[in-house]
């Protein structure tokens, strides 16, 4: 029961806290292959604690103390520590609801959250005098990938603004070019790494690095948050929505993909129980209460919580996107005192947004869209985009039930595709609306009728992998390799790499017409009732057999 309570509490805290090779082109000769700089996503480089002298702090075994992710006491897992911090806060919740006075509850909540991240948070100048990464680009050696490509990994402090980190990337690119004797490099940017790469490209294209030539040959944007992630933008701007159907999907997904219970039958039973509660509308009543509660505390909660954890990282702000940025900034920095204290911090946020993310008046699209087009026209830079779909993200925001990779929606990840609700297909009405679009092209409609790619920024060079999580990394590597080795532009017309595909036993398999909706997302009432009693019977039988086995051992 404690694990169930912990799960429900975690969901509540998330709701009241800030989360943190082409058929028409020849392959280049080996001697002309360009190195690839791989820019990993956030939290892939350890942040180490510094002592009072600015040196790396050491533990009793002489090892550096890593504080990335969370400040965790020795011997405790991150999850256990967070739960130990948050559980006492619940005792303040009841009285707050009764008296309608939430000051003590908020004080307790912020008091519990702050120590968890205190070794990571940045100050009003977006700096951290107490922590640092340990990475020297001048001694980096390449690794070798498919096709003989050389890969150089770029490491960075993932808390800082991509606008500033871009300068570090610039120095690394110059180092690689000199070391390899080349004038250009390819870039493979994953997740937040895309924001860093685009900030570097924007500053380079604008001539901010002097007379140094433009160095990027081709770039692969893999699960990119250039358009932001709803889960970050909506949280930081206070636009949370509690919806029973999406909560049902999320809890079901969470229980099926996390080892919370020793008995899988208990896990299965709880999964179907959540769906049953939703079907009889009890879950819907609960979401109304949660919404009312959240609205009472959001105005004060969001800025206080944001600035003691992930909201103090400019990196996260770059993943908000134009849809939420202005509102989020006004929500978090909602007083003159906060705006004064964080003036330099805000300036750094705006530097990136006004360079890459803001909406361009002339086109109505984010600045990066015109930037990619200009770099193609001026320098021949080609761009490939990779997105995933089949899962929903955290169910607390508008459009969070649109199919995606459990981190972002397919629309965000692909820079513009239209996706359906998870587990559903386009209706006849929706298909007719798509066909009525001026530039509609049937080849951009996935065979399972769940994604339309014709509205993407780059529909000819955007690929979609079905039923893959955000953190499943290597499946698109063959496409990326072919992309980097192509003299021309690899496109979705290449028969080896269909635009919509599944990755099965190491092979790219085209998505078919069959609707392979997983039972995980089934919400048909009679199906839920049937599965509920089936799981209940299975659970009772399991518990009975365990009890019988225990008696036999005793005897």
Q: What is the per-residue pLDDT for 280?
A: 42
Report phi then psi at 143, rounded to 5: -110, 165
Dihedral angle of Cα 21, 24, 30, 33, to the nearest 10 degrees: -70
pLDDT tens for each residue of 474-517: 677 888 899 999 877 899 998 888 999 988 777 778 998 865 54
Average pLDDT over residues 425-438: 95
Average pLDDT over residues 133-160: 90
Q: What is the per-residue pLDDT for 129?
A: 85
Q: What is the per-residue pLDDT for 349?
A: 97
Half-sphere CA count of 355, side-chain side, radius 13 A: 26
pLDDT tens for each residue of 414-427: 999 999 988 789 99
**Is residue 333 included in any domain, yes or no?**
no
Distance CA 517, CA 515 (A): 6
Nearest-CA neighbor of 275 among 533, 12, 540?
A: 533
pLDDT tens for each residue of 32-44: 489 999 998 877 7
The residue range of the domain holding 544 is 524-554
Confidence tier at 88 by pLDDT (50, 70, 90): confident
Helices 325-332 and 282-306 pack at an angle, to 10 degrees, of 70
Q: Give the residue ranges of DSSP H helices in 257-356.
A: 264-279, 282-306, 314-317, 325-332, 336-341, 343-352
DSSP secondary structure, 251-266, as one string = HHHHHHSS---S-HHH
Average pLDDT over residues 171-189: 96
DSSP secondary structure, 524-550, as one string = -HHHHHHHHHHHHHHHHHHHHHHHHHH
Average pLDDT over residues 338-346: 97
Residues contacting 535, CB < 8 A, separation 6+: 265, 268, 269, 271, 272
Nearest-CA neighbor of 324 among 230, 397, 417?
A: 230
Distance CA 393, CA 371 (A): 29
Instruction: Tell which wins on pLDDT, 114 or 516.
Output: 114
**Is residue 528 included in any domain, yes or no?**
yes
Do 218 and 374 touch, CB atoms closer than 8 A?
no
Q: What is the per-residue pLDDT for 69?
A: 58
**Is residue 170 included in any domain, yes or no?**
no
**Is residue 124 included in any domain, yes or no?**
no
Nearest-CA neighbor of 385 among 456, 487, 307?
A: 456
Strand partners, 500: 464
Confidence tier at 541 by pLDDT (50, 70, 90): low
Give 403: exposed, middle or buried? Use CB within 10 Å, 0-12, 13-18, 19+: buried
Any idea which of 177-181, 190-194, 285-289 has the lowest mean pLDDT? 285-289
Q: Is the pLDDT of residue 380 over 80?
A: yes
pTM for the model? 0.81
Q: Quick one: DSSP state of residue 206?
A: T
Parallel/antiparallel/unpaired status of strands 507-510 and 500-504:
antiparallel
**Is residue 547 included in any domain, yes or no?**
yes
Report phi then psi at 480, rounded to 5: -60, -40
Residues contacting 162, CB < 8 A, separation 6+: 192, 195, 196, 198, 199, 314, 315, 318, 352, 356
Half-sphere CA count of 49, side-chain side, radius 13 A: 17
Q: Quick one: DSSP state of residue 420?
A: P
Q: What is the per-residue pLDDT for 288?
A: 61
DSSP secondary structure, 381-434, as one string = -EEEEEEEESB---SSBTTTTBSBBSSSBHHHHTTS-EEPBTT----HHHHHHH
**Is residue 530 included in any domain, yes or no?**
yes
Residues contacting 136, CB < 8 A, separation 6+: none
Do 337 and 149 touch, CB atoms closer than 8 A?
no
Number of domains in the chain: 1
Instruction: Tell which wins on pLDDT, 425 or 20.
Output: 425
Q: Is the pLDDT of residue 117 over 80?
A: yes
Distance CA 209, CA 215 (A): 11
**Is residue 535 included in any domain, yes or no?**
yes
Q: What is the per-residue pLDDT for 108?
A: 86
- The winner for highest mean pLDDT among 128-142, 154-168, 288-302 is 154-168
Q: What is the per-residue pLDDT for 246?
A: 58
Do 45 and 158 touch, CB atoms closer than 8 A?
yes
**Is residue 254 included in any domain, yes or no?**
no
Confidence tier at 411 by pLDDT (50, 70, 90): very high
Dihedral angle of Cα 522, 524, 530, 531, to the nearest 10 degrees: 20
């Amino acid at each position: 029961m404690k694990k169930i309570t912990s799960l429900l509490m975690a969901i509540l805290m998330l709701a009241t806290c800030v989360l943190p090779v082409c058929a028409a082109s020849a392959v280049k000769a080996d001697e002309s292959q360009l190195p690839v700089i791989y820019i990993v996503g956030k939290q892939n480089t350890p942040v180490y604690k510094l002592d009072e002298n600015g040196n790396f702090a050491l533990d009793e075994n002489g090892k550096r103390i890593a504080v990335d992710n969370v400040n965790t006491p020795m011997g405790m897992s991150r999850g256990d520590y967070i739960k130990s911090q948050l559980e006492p806060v619940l005792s303040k919740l009841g009285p707050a609801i009764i008296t309608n006075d939430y000051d003590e509850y908020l004080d307790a909540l912020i008091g519990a959250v702050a120590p968890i991240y205190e070794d990571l948070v940045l100050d009003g100048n977006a700096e951290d005098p107490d922590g640092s990464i340990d990475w020297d680009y001048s001694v980096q050696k390449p690794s070798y990938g498919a096709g003989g490509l050389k890969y150089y990994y770029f490491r960075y402090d993932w808390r800082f603004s991509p606008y500033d980190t871009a300068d570090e990337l610039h120095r690394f690119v110059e180092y690689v070019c000199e070391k390899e004797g080349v004038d250009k490099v390819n870039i493979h940017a994953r997740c937040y790494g895309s924001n860093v790469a685009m900030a570097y490209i924007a500053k380079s294209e604008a001539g901010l690095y002097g007379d140094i030539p433009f160095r990027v040959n081709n770039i692969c944007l893999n699960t990119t948050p250039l358009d932001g992630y709803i889960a970050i933008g909506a949280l930081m701007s206070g636009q949370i929505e509690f919806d029973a159907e999406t909560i049902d999907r999320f809890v079901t997904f969470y229980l099926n993909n996390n080892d919370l219970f020793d008995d899988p039958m208990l896990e299965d039973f709880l999964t179907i129980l959540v769906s049953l509660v939703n079907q009889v509308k009890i879950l819907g009543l609960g979401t109304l209460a949660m919404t009312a509660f959240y609205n009472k505390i959001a105005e004060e909660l969001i800025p206080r919580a944001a600035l003691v954890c992930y909201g103090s990282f400019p990196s996260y702000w770059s993943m908000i996107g134009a849809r939420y940025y202005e509102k989020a900034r006004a929500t978090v920095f909602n007083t003159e005192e906060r705006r004064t204290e964080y003036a330099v911090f805000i300036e750094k946020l705006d530097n990136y947004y006004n360079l890459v993310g803001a909406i361009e008046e002339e086109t109505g699209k984010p600045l990066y869209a015109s930037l990619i087009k200009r770099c193609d026209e001026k320098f021949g830079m080609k761009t490939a985009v990779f997105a995933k779909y089949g899962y929903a993200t955290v169910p607390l925001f508008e459009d969070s039930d649109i199919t995606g990779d459990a981190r972002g929606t397919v629309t965000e990840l692909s820079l513009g595709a239209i996706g359906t609700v998870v587990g559903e297909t386009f209706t006849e009405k929706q298909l007719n609306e798509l066909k009525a679009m001026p530039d509609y092209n049937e080849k951009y409609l996935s065979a399972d009728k769940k994604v339309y790619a014709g509205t993407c920024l780059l529909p000819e060079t955007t690929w979609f992998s079905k039923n893959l999580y955000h953190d499943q990394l290597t499946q698109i590597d063959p496409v990326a390799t072919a992309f980097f080795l192509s003299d021309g532009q690899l496109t979705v017309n290449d028969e080896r790499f269909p635009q919509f595909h599944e990755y099965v036993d190491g092979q790219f398999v085209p998505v078919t017409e069959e609707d392979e909706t997983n039972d995980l997302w089934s919400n048909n009432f009679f199906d839920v009732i049937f599965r509920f009693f089936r799981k209940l019977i299975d659970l009772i039988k399991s518990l009975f057999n365990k009890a019988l086995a225990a008696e036999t051992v005793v005897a």
